[in-house]
Structure 1
Amino acid sequence: MDDPVIGFSEEDARHLHHPHDAALIVSIRIGDYNTHRVLVDNSSSANILYYPAFQQMKIVRERLIPTDTPLVGFGGTRVYPLGVVTLSVTVGDYPQQITKDVTFLEVDCSSAYNAIFGRPTLNSCKAMTSTYHLMVKFPTEYGVEKVRGDQIVARECYIAMLEMDDHLLAMCIEERQMVEKPIEGTE
């Protein structure tokens, strides 16, 4: 299809429990593995693969290309990746699927997710997302394909993130700012 029109309808949302504020969590193929708990995040400027998923995929650490560019998160916190790795990613079901080489930042910190798809991948796939419909749609040679988010898994991930120990989350954050001590005591 040369110029498909991608849209969403109420029919696309009929499988969901409404109202909801669930995150868009999908399953895709990364390398040779069906990878679950992938957060689709329009606000992320990077694709992220968490280190436990990297290890389960049995990817040798030598494939990581060093990087010293930190990820800057909420409140200005910084996370320093272990490196970057490029892996083949397949989204959709045959024949309406696309396969792309995706560069992931490898991050070694706690998360309920295995990976995050950010704008670089969404844009390269010409994908459209709808959090209301919990769906991603993208053009393929054989028409528009859709990948549904999983409301139950989204809830599980949310609860897992709430239950994570603060010290586990802090392990991946390195603040590189000098903090001044107060000159006098506060009341």
Structure 2
Amino acid sequence: MTESQSPEEGVGSIKGKRSEQAEQARPGTVVGMIRGYTSKKRPREQAEQWSDNEISFPSTPGCQLVNSPIILEALIEGFLVRRIYVDGGSSSEVMYEHCFRNLRAETKAKLKESRTPLVGFYGEVSYPIGTINLNVTMGESKRLRTIPMEFTVVKSHSRYNVILGQTSLRSLGVIASTIHSMIKCPTANRIAIVTT
């Protein structure tokens, strides 16, 4: 709807099939046009300018390059959790049942039912126990980041406790380097380096 049109013209000029749909819609639920407005940066964007700090890795001689998975530790709801596998190819964050069982009872009570199946590398399908939102703190010394993450809790055997996937890595601003066997992420107090 342009400024010169009345509200009736913006909605009422719909012809044929569209006008039938418009008549069936409840009054006030049809939108003729949505206008976008540019605005100032949101406060969150201004407050987190430190997250734009450049992340780089040193050059490494070929003889010192490693080829092993990145396995870290982090605080999850106040518990130090070891054997966290960083998997930039995973589309979800996974917590295995053996890790979940060690959380506090009040934390475990936050588990929500989930019917979304997980498909493994070989096409095997498994159904999770549920999903749970937990605070995860990662970093080093005074350079820490804490964010909430939604974990899918699965009943499966694994040498790992947790898998961190694309969503959490993006939320943390993590850059992973397998050849350096480390991750780096921005914090309010410069770049944190976490090694395996």
TM range, smaller chain: 0.7 to 0.9
Distance 2:91 2:130 in 1: 16
2:140 is equivalent to residue 93 of structure 1 = yes
Structure with max Cα Rg: 2
1:80-128 per-residue CA deviation (whole Å, 9 max, x = no partner) reads 1100001110001242110001110001110000000001100001110
Distance 2:73 2:186 in 1: 18
Counterpart residue type for residue 58 of structure 2: S
Distance 2:135 2:178 in 1: 25
Q: What is the RMSD of the two structures over their aligned residues, measured on CA atoms?
A: 1.9
Against the structure 1 CA distance between its residues 59 and 38, is the aligned structure 2 distance closer, same or farther, given a 3 Å change threshold? farther
Counterpart residue type for residue 102 of structure 2: Q
Distance 2:167 2:151 in 1: 10
4+ residue runs over 4 A deviation: none
- What's the TM-score, normalizing by structure 2? 0.69
2:24 is equivalent to residue 24 of structure 1 = no
Counterpart residue type for residue 140 of structure 2: D
The sequence identity of aligned pairs, in percent, is 31
1:136-160 per-residue CA deviation (whole Å, 9 max, x = no partner) reads 11111111111101xxxxxxxxxxx
Looking at both structures, which has the greater relative contact order when contacts are Cα pairs under 8 Å and sequence separation is at least 6? 1
1:4 corresponds to which of 38, 43, 53 = 53
Distance 2:190 2:114 in 1: 38
2:82 is equivalent to residue 33 of structure 1 = no
Distance 1:51 1:18 in 2: 36
- What's the TM-score, normalizing by structure 1? 0.72
Is there any run of 5+ residues in structure 2 with no aligned partner, and where?
1-49
Check conservation: 2:66, 2:181, Cα contact below 8 A: no
